[in-house]
Amino acid sequence: METQPIIAIKNLWKSFGKNKVLRGINLTVDKGESLVILGRSGSGKSVTIECLVGLLEADKGKLEVFGTDITKLDYKALNRIRLRIGFLFQGGALYDSMSVRENLAFTLKHHTAHLSEIEIEKQILEALDSVGLQEAIDKMPSELSGGMVKRIGLARTLIIKPEIILYDEPTAGLDTITAKEISELILSVQKKYKTTSLIITHDINCAKMTGNRIMIIKDGVIHAQGSYDELMNSPDDWVRSFFV
Amino acid sequence: MVPFLKEQFTQAGKFSMFIGRFFKEIVLPPFQFNEFIRQCFAIGYKSLPLVSITGFIMGLVLTIQSRPTMTKFGAESWLPSMVSLSLIREIAPVVTALICAGKIASGIGAELGSMKVTSQIDAMEVSAINPYKYLVVTRILAATLMVPILVIFADVVGVFGGYIGYNVHGTIGLQRYFSEVIEHLDFLDLLPATIKTFFFGFFIGTIGCYKGFNASGGTASVGLAANSAVVTASLSIFIVDMLAVQITDLFF
């Protein structure tokens, strides 16, 4: 029996002024799958996932998440969907006026008024344990390294127990070893929390490690898709150039 | 010329919608009470030293500067009432509001601008937390309530500064000085001056938030947002003051 995809983007168009960034993107992600979107800078990778959580308004097209077209939802209904999606920003986007503990507690306190302080603390520690950074609980974001910021960002995402996690350039700006650690962390999170992942990157090692399937965006449309090996051996020189 | 005018009208429209959203969000739950208290502390309490020093100097300098002229006209005894009336009706509200525009509007503009360009506001949005309600409503409300309190505080400190200034060249007791001040103060001196400070606070908060919330294009825009917030808020204070004086003149 064929199951409905957890994410389905149909004919997505998005422009900024006269610049047409997305020109009819079509993609689906199945439950438990890990899809990587590759593409050059400015190709519209981040715009695609920002449309998916309603940060940007699509010009045209359908954005179905959990079977619901989010372009037709009001603010409250959209927020209910957003609570089932985690979003790891490129720069981590930690609230810099709050400590790590407060960063993690912030979302939880807003949406779970019934939780006691002890329960909140327990969940914070559990999320930090998942990213291996329990000792950073009292630190401020300014005291963290680039890799730690990404890990804490992921912990903050995990605390709401999302079914889907969208990663925007999770390894950007990191050295090779830290980037590999982040890729391994993404894999371990997928395994532990059984999440569906949509990973935007131009780090080919990250794509190889984390993706079940890879899509390549060119000129605002999906240019190629397949497994890592299929794309690496593609007859298209431009596609192969990503893997050199 | 046409594109310039179009841009100005677009900005005016966006700003009006921003203000409209404030009045919509302020009545809808959930209410961010803790953040509101935190902002009152940051905007009100943390501005007290600056407002105190400014208020004291305003009273002191105004008294010392006015004294020779008042003495020339044989009206030295009118000095306490003249200084206090000038301070309470006009100088303290406007100068305190300008100080607040410099400190509060720029602070809010820079803070929200920085949050905007580092995706912190987007992070709130995707966490299903309304950033407008949490960041904007609380700050505008806190500025609207705290600026009048700061102005009243500056009034009191300024009058005391006037007392010190009077005693530089003359002698007057504290009790007699304040009796002179209160005797010549009317309720109608206080009421319009206090009402307009709520508008000063509202515009300081709103402009700071608007500039910060709409920052875009990287770190340079943070400085631009802070700078633009101070300039626009200061200008708005003079415009509101001019309108307030006209309205007061019409009714009182």
**According to the model, what pLDDT value does residue A173 have?**
86
Split at pLDDT 50, 70, 90, the class of A2 is: low
A55/B118 CB distance under 8 A: no
B226 falls within a domain: yes
B5 and chain A in contact, CB less than 8 A: no
For B118, which of A87, A93, A110 is closest by C-beta distance? Answer: A93
Write down the pLDDT at residue A4. 83
- Pick A93's closest partner by Cβ from B119, B128, B130: B119
pLDDT in tens, A99-134: 999 999 999 998 887 889 999 999 999 999 999 999
Per-position DSSP letters for A140-190, written without gaps between them: -GGGS-HHHHHHHHHHHHHTT--SEEEEESTTTT--HHHHHHHHHHHHHHH
Contacts A79 to B, Cβ<8 Å: 128
Which chain B residues are Cβ-neighbours of A89 within 8 angstroms? 119, 122-123
d(CA A42, CA A19) in angstroms, rounded, equals 11
The reported pLDDT for the residue numbered B217 is 78
Q: How many helices (H) and strands (E) does chain A have?
A: 9, 10
B11 domain residue, yes or no: no
CA distance linking residue B224 with residue B159, whole number of Å: 37
Report the residue of chain B nearest A160, measured CA to CA. Answer: B127
Rg (CA), chain B: 21
pLDDT band with cut points at 50, 70 and 90 for residue A1: very low
Q: Enumerate residues 104 to 143 of chain A having a beta carbon within 8 A of any beta carbon in chain B.
A: 106-107, 110-111
Check if B129 contacts A (Cβ < 8 Å). yes
Residue A27 pairs in a beta bridge with: A9
Q: How far is B137 from chain A (nearest CA, A)?
A: 16
Instruction: Please compute the mean of the pLDDT values over residues A155-181 and round it to a whole number.
Output: 92
* Separation CA A215–CA A38 (nearest Å): 6
Residue spans of chain B under pLDDT 50: none
Measured between beta carbons, the chain A residues lying within 8 angstroms of B117 are: none
Handedness of CA B4, B6, B10, B16 (dihedral sign): positive
- CATH (one of 3.40.50.300, 3.40.50.720, 3.90.1720.10, 3.50.50.60) for A31-44+76-243: 3.40.50.300
| Structural domain harbouring B49 | 32-251
Asked whether residue B21 is assigned to any structural domain, the reply reads: no
- Looking at the domain assignment, is residue B213 inside a domain? yes
| Percent residues over pLDDT 70 in chain A | 99
Please give the sequence-ordered ranges of beta strands (E in DSSP) within chain A, or none if there are none. 7-16, 19-29, 34-39, 60-65, 68-69, 85-88, 164-168, 196-200, 213-218, 221-226
Q: How many CB atoms lie within 10 A of CB A112?
A: 13
For B118, which residue in chain A has the nearest alpha carbon? A93
- Give the number of A-B residue pairs with CB atoms closer than 8 Å: 50
Local confidence band at A71 (pLDDT 50, 70, 90 cut-offs): very high
Nearest chain A residue to B32, by CA: A110
Q: Report the candidate in A28, A26, A22, A29 with the shortest Cα–Cα distance to residue A45.
A: A22
* Chain A CB within 8 Å of residue B216 CB: no
CB of B57 less than 8 A from some CB of A: no
The pair phi, psi for residue A227, each rounded to 5°, is -80, 170
Residue of A nearest to B126 (CA): A82
Cβ-based contacts of B129 with chain A (< 8 Å) = 106-107, 110
Backbone angles phi, psi at A4, to 5 degrees: -75, 135
Verify whether the Cβ–Cβ distance B128 to A111 is below 8 Å. Answer: yes
Question: In the Cβ-directed half-sphere of A124, how many Cα atoms lie within 13 Å?
Answer: 23
Q: Is A178 on the interface with B (CB under 8 A)?
A: no
Average pLDDT over residues A10-29: 93
With beta carbons under 8 A apart, name residues in chain A contacting B114. Answer: 96
Number of domains within chain B: 1
Within a domain: B16: no
Could you read off the pLDDT of A20-57 as tens digits, one per residue?
A: 999 999 999 999 999 999 988 888 999 999 999 999 99
Write out chain B residues lying below 8 Å of A96, CB-based: 114-115, 118, 120
Instruction: Check residue B173 and report its DSSP letter.
Output: -
B129/A91 Cβ within 8 A: no
- Chain A contact present for B219, CB below 8 A: no
Q: Which of A110, A157, A160, A161 to mutate to test the interface with B (most CBs of B within 10 A)?
A: A110
Q: Is residue B7 part of a domain?
A: no
Q: Report if residue B25 sits inside a domain.
A: no
Q: If you measure CA to CA, which chain B residue comes closest to A153?
A: B123
Asked whether the beta carbons of residue B122 and residue A93 sit closer than 8 angstroms, the reply is yes
A94 to chain B: which residues are within 8 Å by CB?
Answer: 120, 123
Token pair listed for B234: 């200061």
Helix, strand, or coil (residue B238): helix
